[in-house]
Structure 1
Amino acid sequence: MSEAGADIPYTETLLPLPEGRTLAYDSAGDPNSLALVIFFHGVFGVGDASSLSKTLQAKGVHYVTPTLPGWGSSSARPSGASYVDTLTADITALIHHLYPDTSSHSQLSIYVSGGSYGTVPAQILYGQPFDKFPLGRQIKGLLLLAPLSPPRHDLGFNQGLSWGNWMMVGTPGHVIPGQLIPRLATAAMKPRFSTHEKATKFIRETLFDKMSKEEKVELAEYHKKNGFAEGHLQSKFGLNSWRSVNKTWAGFTEVNDVLWSDWGFVPKEIDAEGLGRHVLVVAAKGDELAPNQQADWITENYRNAELKMIEGGHLAGIYHLDEIWAKFLVDI
């Protein structure tokens, strides 16, 4: 495979934003559908809608995957701006771009979702007061795969984190000044992502080679079921991880800051019951990157939350996406 990964299709649209910034996103499904599903990627990811779930195809939704600020082709947040303000402004601009007829906005049914670190922006949008994010009134549900809880409110956030993750996203990365740990981590990681091949090797070693025998069987079945060649998912993850930091490392460096920042709400105080909004939390029993403790905390602190446990590790949700989407989007 070439460094650019030409044999794996990838498209993105670049949306111009104020102040010369850019938001990259990918989309699939029916662009005219008023059922809008937004999915946020995790660390070392970009918005990629190339493998649309059969369930989403059948439901005829508009599936949109933004690339988060500071990752891939998306501009970093402006200097001095809060992550919450940047995210809500960027997604508001994206929705206005996708649905330029503002009279249709009141008819939208928006479903926000994310995987791993992507569950943070998903939760932020879901929990914003409507005066801060008016389009939040149209959010009908929140799907969190391998989620991370807000450490400002989850006092047990550090529990279950591996030593490396504890240093990077746990308390040490937060309390040691000058972003020292994130900056050191960035310097250490850059050589591993200097080419697509190196990035793919790193992703294979850290995510796929550590899978149990049972999960490797599931991975093989996933490839077969979807008509993919063996190793397709590994190459796709490697390619997207390389793309995610090929232009900037701003998104990676600020992960700890984003996690520990004020998300603008307290989960248990969201009046989701009155709005009838469903929260589906999916966690894998063998996930070492997103501890089950955090999934439990989220389920206990968000109203209307339901926890679905599955077998496997950090990527196990991928093999169950059709059934997960069907359960989450049951009203469509």
Structure 2
Amino acid sequence: MIYVQDKRLLLPDGRTLAYADNGNTSSLNVVLYLHGPFSVGDASRLPLILQIHKVHLVCPSLPGWGMSSPVSKSTQYASSIVSDMSFLLNHLHPERYNLKLHICAHSFGCVAAQILYGAPYISFPYGRCIAALILLDPLSPPRCHHDYWKFLSWQSYFLAGPPSRLFPFSFLTVVVKYAIGNRLQSSATAESFVRRTLITHVRESETEDIVNWKEDNGISDGDHERAVIRNAVYSVASTWQGFLELPQIYHSGWGGFCPDLLDDEHSRPPVTIITSNSGGGHTLAGMDSWLVGKYKNATLRIVEGRSNFSLLLCLDNVWREVFSKAAYA
């Protein structure tokens, strides 16, 4: 497997943004993918459906993960994300405001994705180009979803729920870092930990669909799992700041973002929320249904499978629908 990773972009404030990209770099169809915790921007696999439609896949590493610099102490997370992604897109597609930008994110990456979706166009000109927002097992903004904590897994409850706000200096994430840090020093030591926490069990009923999906996308058996393990190790090899700052970022206010306060123009691009029964650690009755009810143009997809592959299979189906509609737009 070719590992397409670690392009570096020097940002105006002197920080570094690591990113990967793949596909047709001159395409007007751009997919911006924002990863979840213990991962990095990885474009080594270009899904078959994106190849067919000659899409440019862009995968940045979020601040503090991999080789991307953390957000400056003097800058709000929302402002930094908007500035960083604007600079990246302008670097790759200079002032091409006729792009069709599809923002896709998983788990904690959905925080950054929703910030971009609602950002003022004066600070994020590419916001007018957004054609779709796709959120996999997303988080809701605690600023306006006051009952968010009721729907977190117990691990997320302590890391990002009310307890995280009671302890200063990222105390709980520091404790977790020391508990798991030695397990993420290499792929060999990380395998059991990552398989237990990031790669969920495949049900027997999913096996045939997964085998077919791997064949269609040219993925050998075990490639996906090895990539997840590799990215988890790489995500904290340089710095743990991305992980340590999870609670502060989640409770940072998201630049004032609330989905039900968006104007009609910002609400124009459709929002697709893909959720598994157990994959995100929260329930359909919680964050997912809250988000669907607050966005003016949202659709919910419930994945019955329990594995990471279930989300990927559903995502490929969503891409087929998105780009088939785009072809006739």
Q: Indicate yes or no: 2:26 matched with 1:26.
A: no
What secondary structure, in the 3-state scheme, does the structure 2 residue paired with 1:25 have?
A: strand
Residue in structure 1 matched with residue 145 of structure 2 by the alignment: 154
What secondary structure, in the 3-state scheme, does the structure 1 residue paired with 2:134 have?
A: strand
Q: How far apart are 1:215 and its partner, in Å?
A: 4.4
Q: Indicate yes or no: 2:233 matched with 1:242.
A: yes
Cα distance between partner residues in 2 of 1:160 and 1:215: 26
Q: Specify the code of the residue in structure 2 equivalent to 1:41.
A: H
What secondary structure, in the 3-state scheme, does the structure 1 residue paired with 2:156 have?
A: helix
Q: Specify the code of the residue in structure 1 equivalent to 2:275.
A: A
Q: How far apart are 1:36 and its partner, in Å?
A: 1.6
Distance 1:67 1:209, change over 3 A: closer
Distance 1:274 1:47, change over 3 A: closer
Deviates more, 1:154-163 or 1:63-72: 154-163
Distance 1:288 1:123, change over 3 A: closer
Q: How far apart are 1:290 and its partner, in Å?
A: 4.1
Q: How far apart are 1:155 and its partner, in Å?
A: 2.2
Residue in structure 2 matched with residue 302 of structure 1 by the alignment: 295
Residue in structure 2 matched with residue 266 of structure 1 by the alignment: 258
Root-mean-square deviation (Å): 2.0
Q: Map of 1:166-315 to 2, 5 A cutoff? A: 166-208=157-199, 210-215=201-206, 218-264=209-255, 265-272=257-264, 276-292=268-284, 293-313=286-306, 315=308
TM-score by length of 1: 0.90
Cα distance between partner residues in 1 of 2:143 and 2:307: 23
**Among the aligned pairs, what percent are the same residue?**
34
Contact 1:48 1:65 in 2 (8 A): yes
Residue in structure 2 matched with residue 80 of structure 1 by the alignment: 74
What secondary structure, in the 3-state scheme, does the structure 1 residue paired with 2:253 have?
A: coil
Structure 2, unaligned stretches of length 5 or more? none
Residue in structure 2 matched with residue 3 of structure 1 by the alignment: none
How many matched pairs?
323
Cα distance between partner residues in 2 of 1:274 and 1:144: 16
What secondary structure, in the 3-state scheme, does the structure 1 residue paired with 2:42 have?
A: coil
What secondary structure, in the 3-state scheme, does the structure 2 residue paired with 1:158 have?
A: helix
What secondary structure, in the 3-state scheme, does the structure 2 residue paired with 1:159 have?
A: helix
TM-score by length of 2: 0.91
Residue in structure 2 matched with residue 123 of structure 1 by the alignment: 114
Q: How far apart are 1:82 and its partner, in Å?
A: 0.7
Q: How far apart are 1:112 and its partner, in Å?
A: 1.1
Q: Indicate yes or no: 2:37 matched with 1:46.
A: no
